[in-house]
Structure 1
Amino acid sequence: MDEEDTMITLIGTQLAREGEEFIFEGEAPECNKCKLRNTCMNLEKGRKYVVRKIRTNTLHECFVHEQGAYVVDVAKAPIVAAIDSRNAVEGSTIQYKEPKCDTNDQELYDLFHPAGIKNGDKCTVAEVMGNIESDQCSGHKKVKLKF
């Protein structure tokens, strides 16, 4: 990730590790009374992020995270997902469309309904990870998508 792809935010001490991935769930009611609220709330709700760097060891008081929060650099995390095989070309830019697959298999469900990406998002196929072996969900490949 390039420097311009990162954002500064605060994150609870238990998640403040380089490489840690998380889904930003949005604002808690306790955030309204915090003076650092704007720094925390600059992320997009429902997106998956990865901690790139811990900026300082200064521990900030946080009404949500009992042990406090650190200032970190984050970026949108890559998403592992299933897409139509015809679009699974490494390096290509696609507009994400959640594929159809009715399955009770949790692993397949997570590939076909990945957290952190929305229909219409533009992303790059960073890696084709292989075919999806399923009678119910044929014609799709497992890929890693980057924003």
Structure 2
Amino acid sequence: MTDTDTMITLVGSRLAKEGEEFVFLGESRECQKCKLKRTCLSLEPGRKYHVVKLRSDTVHECFIHDSGVLAVEVVSSPVVAAIDSKKAIAGARISYERPKCTDFDDSLYDLINPEGINNGDKCTVSKVIDSIDEGLLSGCSLKKVELNL
């Protein structure tokens, strides 16, 4: 991670801890009247972020977060997902596609439908974690991987 990878934003004071991860959901109606919204809304909606550093102890009022917001530095978080085994090569640059498996064990739901990534997103397979037991799937060969956007 380099300094250029970090972004400054405001997050709810309860989330403002180093190591905390969150998915940025985007602008709320209440954000329209806030004078700090440009700082908060600098992130990409639907993406997963990781708090790397608190910037200040100053709590700012917020129409959404009842305990206010704090300035933090964040980076994009890797997404752990299931992808087709043929694409699961460490270092490969791929266009993400959700597996087309329709019959799978409930324990795989979060891997097959991961938060923070969308079909068509360009990403890099940073790590191949494991093969997924084919007994939990029907008609698919998948691997659990870590993806970086």
What TM-score results when the alignment is normalised by the length of structure 1? 0.94
What letter is aligned with 1:61? Answer: E
Give the CA RMSD over aligned residues.
1.3
Question: Secondary structure, in 3 states, of the residue corresponding to 1:145?
Answer: strand
Distance 2:57 2:93 in 1: 38
Aligned to 1:124: 124
Q: 1:48 to 1:137 in 2, by over 3 A?
A: farther
Q: Partner residue of 2:140? A: 138
Residues 66-105 of structure 1 mapped to structure 2, 5 A cutoff: 66-103=66-103, 105=105
Pairing of 1:28-67 with structure 2 (within 5 A): 28-67=28-67
- TM-fit CA distance, 1:104: 5.8
Give the TM-score, by structure 2 length.
Answer: 0.92
Distance 1:59 1:102, change over 3 A: same
Deviations 1:58-96 (CA, angstroms, capped at 9, x unpaired): 111111111111001111110000111111111111111
Aligned equivalents of 1:49, 1:137: Cα separation in 2? 33
Question: Contact conserved, 2:105 with 2:137, CA < 8 A, in 1?
Answer: no
Structure 1 residue 103: deviation in Å?
3.6
**Structure 1 stretch 103-112 or stretch 76-85: which is displaced more?**
103-112
Tell me how far apart the structure 2 counterparts of residues 135 and 78 of structure 1 sit (CA, whole Å): 24
What residue is the counterpart of 1:111 in the other structure? Answer: 111
Q: Percent identity?
A: 54
Question: Which residue matches 1:5?
Answer: 5
AA aligned to 2:35 is: K
Which consecutive residues of structure 1, in runs of 5 or more, have no partner in the other structure?
none
Tell me the secondary structure at the aligned position of residue 64 of structure 1: coil
For the Cα contact (< 8 Å) 1:132–1:138, is it kept in 2? no
DSSP 3-state at the match of 1:39: helix
Q: Distance in 1 between matches of 2:58 and 2:138?
A: 51
